[in-house]
């Protein structure tokens, strides 16, 4: 980190109007300056004793419990911040003394961990809170104690940073700015800010502050690119993007303003668009599709942290982004406040002193399109509405994010009154199930092309202690986390359509084309057309669809149910298709000739429904280099007895399907060569209502409501 401040500054990024030296000069000389300052403290205190009094009393009770416990070695950074906060509110000496004791014990523990080559914690939050406690106690500490603790804490922070001179300790998080940024590098900003020009180690503090500032700007810029003009975060996996990830922006924005007076959030408006991304991921009952590195145990969205994140967005953007704040307020009504606040920043509620009188958005559902393409997130969401009876789907293609992204290009998932076409597996850490099944294409509703002898790429994770380390199985799937493209997208009041080209994600020696066209015909039908060309006719192709319950297979169609929903799927092409089901006990996670079970003693049983218990594989009986897969999918209530009748159509280089449902006569055709193409025709009452070509372009969408 021996760089000049000028070299550390990222010129040209939003939020970088000031010269670096100007930024440092703007840091106020007094303390506190982390999260609040002398000027803003009265409002924070009033909020703690007023509208958030119940939360403050709960926090104070935890502090009283901590005071009653015997002293021990350990990380008490968060407890120290709670005690220091209560001390500042009440002025009671016992809380100040407790905060000092907990802070000193924590700093000693951090240094001891380094000596013993142990990590403090995967997350940096407790140490950020310890720095906040140091800052809040700054004027209470004697000069000698301030220097002693400050130097020891700066050293512990320095020791925890990534360096070429040593490897990371086990579970030591050195993650960079393209992640959640709760890694050890995030500590630099808080350490530098707390000790800036404090006479402790001014040179190191200046270095930390400049580097921490640079890194957080990189975080913001990376997430701005990920959100694009649609919204989103640094990962499509909701347990990250709606869980720990938003705290990075929250902490940086709050401390930047408390230290310098500058409202940096206004200069990064993309953060305010997160509620739109939440909306499209939100299924009835607060569930999600289970994209990426999700656990798939319940598929529930973690609303505990989400309530705080939405409140924080209203605080940060109520004035500068009123429409986004109103959308956040609308969503806040759907996310009940948890009985206990998040332990990340347990004082966060008290900082929301600028909560404007934001009325929830009026009828935002009526302003939404039927489908939404989040280009940089690599996801397209399609739905018939937003109620418990509606149909919901997600299609995966394109995107710029690798974080917790699996080999799942052109995958689709479908929900209607239950999970009907699902992502499967889960993430034991450690456990070969994660690396050898869960992340692989075989665990998704995609297409396999098996080239004998192909060596598949690694994924994060490792074997469990009692597992024999085995090579990654050849599932016949993809090998690139990025590389697919959305080549066509459109949505209107009659249908929605997306086409994804996943060819570059497969090994070039086995795949010449992997193109999927996905048409949603609301309320309950999907037409899925795949053109797949292998380099060798002998490479077996398989079209996959995963279900919770065992599918019932007929000659050319199958059905499976979950909860109150049912899926029907009919294979129209290939005409020589063979349908086979794989699954059941001991075969749920089958790949490359064997099952990849969860490790012994893992907290989630293999039989957990949403991990996926069955799949259907559709393969041509004869070997060909090029194959067409055409499927009609119908979703319905669990009691539905049969699928609609349909007819395969072939004409002049086109193939497709024709069927009638709910007074609508649909015909969907696809081109069998060249770029993705086709035509949709809809008749109602004998009158042609729609007759148009499928688009060959990507319809632009932007902002909260997906306006072009």
pLDDT of residue 70: 81
pLDDT of residue 98: 97
Region 532-546: mean pLDDT is: 98
State yes or no: pLDDT of 17 exceeds 70. no
- Summarised one tens digit per residue, pLDDT across range 177-204 is 999 999 999 999 999 999 999 999 999 9
- Summarised one tens digit per residue, pLDDT across range 89-128 is 999 999 999 999 999 999 999 999 999 999 999 999 999 9
The proportion of the chain whose per-residue pLDDT surpasses 70, expressed as a percent, equals 97
Confidence category of residue 72, pLDDT binned at 50, 70, 90: confident
Confidence category of residue 329, pLDDT binned at 50, 70, 90: very high
Confidence category of residue 355, pLDDT binned at 50, 70, 90: confident
pLDDT of residue 305: 87
- How many of the other CB atoms lie within 10 Å of CB of 429? 12
- Summarised one tens digit per residue, pLDDT across range 243-300 is 999 999 999 999 999 999 999 999 999 999 999 999 999 999 999 999 999 999 999 9
pLDDT of residue 252: 98
Backbone phi, psi, residue 21, to 5°: -60, -35
State yes or no: pLDDT of 1 exceeds 90. no
| Domain coordinates in residue numbering, the chain | 5-364, 369-643
- What one-character-per-residue DSSP string does 17-64 give? -S-HHHHHHHS-SSS--SS--TTTHHHHHHHHHTTTHHHHHHHHHHHH
State yes or no: pLDDT of 28 exceeds 90. yes
CATH fold of 369-643:
Beta-galactosidase; Chain A, domain 5 (2.70.98)
- What one-character-per-residue DSSP string does 51-100 give? TTHHHHHHHHHHHHHHHHSPP-SS--HHHHHHHHHHHHHH--HHHHHHHH
CA distance 419 to 99: 49
Residue 563: which region, alpha, beta or left (left: phi > 0; alpha: psi -120 to 50)? left
State yes or no: pLDDT of 8 exceeds 80. no
Give, in degrees to the nearest 5, the angle at Cα 56 between 54 and 59: 115
Region 48-59: mean pLDDT is: 97
State yes or no: pLDDT of 479 exceeds 60. yes
- Summarised one tens digit per residue, pLDDT across range 298-310 is 999 987 789 999 9
Confidence category of residue 2, pLDDT binned at 50, 70, 90: very low
Pick the CATH number of 5-364 from 1.50.10.100, 1.10.3720.10, 3.40.50.300, 1.20.1050.10: 1.50.10.100
CA 48 to chain centre: 32
Element holding 666 (H helix, E strand): strand 664-671
- Summarised one tens digit per residue, pLDDT across range 395-425 is 999 999 999 999 999 999 999 999 999 999 9
How many residues are recorded in the chain? Answer: 708
- Summarised one tens digit per residue, pLDDT across range 232-244 is 999 999 999 999 9
- How many of the other CB atoms lie within 10 Å of CB of 145? 13
- Summarised one tens digit per residue, pLDDT across range 360-387 is 999 899 999 999 999 999 999 999 999 9
CA distance 233 to 375: 12
Q: What is this structure's pTM?
A: 0.95
Confidence category of residue 342, pLDDT binned at 50, 70, 90: confident
Region 420-436: mean pLDDT is: 98
Cα separation of the two ends of the chain: 44
- Summarised one tens digit per residue, pLDDT across range 604-629 is 999 999 999 999 999 999 999 999 99
pLDDT of residue 9: 29
pLDDT of residue 304: 75
State yes or no: pLDDT of 18 exceeds 90. no
Confidence category of residue 20, pLDDT binned at 50, 70, 90: very low
State yes or no: pLDDT of 19 exceeds 80. no
State yes or no: pLDDT of 540 exceeds 80. yes
pLDDT of residue 16: 43
CA distance 549 to 563: 10
pLDDT of residue 340: 86
Cis peptide before 574 (omega within 30 of 0): yes
Confidence category of residue 341, pLDDT binned at 50, 70, 90: confident
Cα–Cα distances (Å) from 696 to 361, 495, 526, in that order, read 35, 15, 19
pLDDT of residue 477: 98
Comparing 5-364 with 369-643, is the CATH topology the same?
no
- How many of the other CB atoms lie within 10 Å of CB of 624? 15
CA distance 90 to 85: 9
CA distance 247 to 276: 18
Region 579-608: mean pLDDT is: 97
């Amino acid at each position: 980190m021996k760089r000049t401040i000028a070299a550390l500054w990222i010129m040209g990024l939003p939020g970088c109007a000031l010269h670096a030296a100007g930024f440092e000069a703007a840091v106020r000389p007094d303390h506190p300056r982390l999260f609040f300052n002398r000027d803003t403290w009265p409002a924070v205190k009033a909020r703690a004793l007023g509208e958030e009094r119940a939360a403050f009393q709960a926090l104070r009770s935890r502090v009283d419990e901590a005071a009653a416990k015997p002293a021990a070695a350990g990380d008490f950074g968060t407890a120290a911040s709670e005690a220091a906060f209560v001390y500042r509110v009440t002025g009671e000496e016992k809380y100040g003394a407790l905060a000092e004791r907990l802070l000193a014990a924590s700093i000693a523990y951090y240094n001891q961990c380094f000596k013993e080559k142990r990590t403090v914690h995967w997350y940096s939050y407790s140490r950020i809170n310890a720095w906040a406690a140091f800052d809040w106690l700054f004027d209470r500490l004697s000069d000698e104690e301030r220097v002693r603790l400050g130097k020891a804490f700066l050293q512990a922070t320095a020791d925890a940073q990534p360096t070429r001179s040593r490897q990371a300790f086990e579970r030591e998080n050195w993650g960079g700015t393209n992640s959640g940024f709760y890694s050890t590098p995030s500590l630099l900003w808080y350490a530098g800010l707390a000790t800036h020009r404090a006479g402790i180690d001014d040179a190191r503090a200046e270095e930390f502050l400049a580097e921490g500032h640079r890194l957080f700007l990189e975080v913001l810029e990376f997430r701005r690119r990920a959100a694009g003009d649609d919204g989103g975060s640094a990962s499509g996996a909701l347990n990250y993007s709606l869980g720990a990830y938003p705290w990075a922006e929250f902490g940086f924005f709050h401390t930047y303003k408390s230290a310098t007076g500058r409202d940096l959030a206004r200069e990064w408006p993309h953060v305010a668009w997160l509620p739109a991304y939440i909306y499209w991921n939100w299924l009835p009952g607060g569930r999600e599709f289970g994209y990426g590195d999700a656990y798939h145990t319940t598929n529930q969205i973690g609303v505990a942290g989400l309530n705080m994140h939405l409140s924080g967005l209203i605080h940060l953007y109520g004035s500068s982004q009123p429409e986004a704040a109103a959308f956040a307020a609308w969503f806040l009504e759907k996310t009940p406040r948890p009985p206990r606040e998040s332990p990340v920043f347990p004082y966060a509620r008290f900082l929301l002193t600028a909560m404007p009188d934001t009325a929830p958005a009026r009828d935002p559902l009526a302003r939404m399109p039927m489908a939404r393409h989040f280009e940089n997130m690599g996801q397209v969401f399609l739905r018939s509405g937003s109620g418990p009876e509606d149909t919901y789907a997600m299609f995966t293609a394109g995107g710029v994010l690798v974080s917790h992204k699996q080999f799942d290009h052109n995958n689709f998932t479908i929900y209607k009154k239950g999970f009907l076409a699902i992502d499967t597996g889960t993430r034991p850490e450690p456990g070969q199930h994660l690396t050898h099944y869960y992340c692989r294409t075989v665990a998704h509703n995609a297409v396999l092309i098996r080239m004998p002898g192909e060596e598949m790429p690694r994924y994060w994770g490792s074997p469990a202690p009692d597992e024999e380390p085995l090579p990654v199985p050849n599932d016949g799937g993809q090998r690139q986390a990025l590389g697919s493209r959305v080549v066509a997208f459109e949505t209107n009041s009659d249908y929605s359509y997306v086409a994804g080209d996943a060819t570059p994600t497969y090994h070039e020696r086995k795949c010449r084309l992997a193109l999927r066209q996905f048409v949603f015909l609301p309320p309950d039908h999907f037409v899925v057309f795949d053109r797949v060309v292998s380099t060798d006719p002998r490479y077996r192709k398989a079209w996959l669809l995963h279900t919770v319950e065992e599918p019932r297979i007929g000659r050319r169609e199958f059905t499976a149910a979950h909860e109150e929903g049912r899926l029907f799927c009919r294979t129209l092409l290939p005409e020589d298709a063979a349908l086979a089901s794989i699954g059941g006990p001991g075969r749920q996670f089958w790949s490359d000739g064997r099952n990849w079970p969860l490790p012994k003693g893992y907290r989630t049983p293999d039989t957990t429904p949403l991990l996926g218990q069955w799949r259907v594989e559709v393969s041509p009986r004869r070997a060909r280099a090029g194959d067409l897969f055409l499927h009609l999918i119908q979703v319905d209530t669990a009691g539905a007895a049969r699928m609609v009748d349909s007819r395969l159509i072939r004409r002049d280089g086109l193939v497709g399907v024709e069927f009638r449902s709910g007074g609508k006569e649909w015909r969907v055709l696809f081109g069998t060569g060249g770029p993705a193409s086709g035509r949709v025709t809809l008749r109602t009452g004998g009158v042609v209502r729609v007759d148009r070509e499928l688009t060959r372009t990507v319809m632009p969408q932007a902002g909260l409501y997906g306006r072009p």
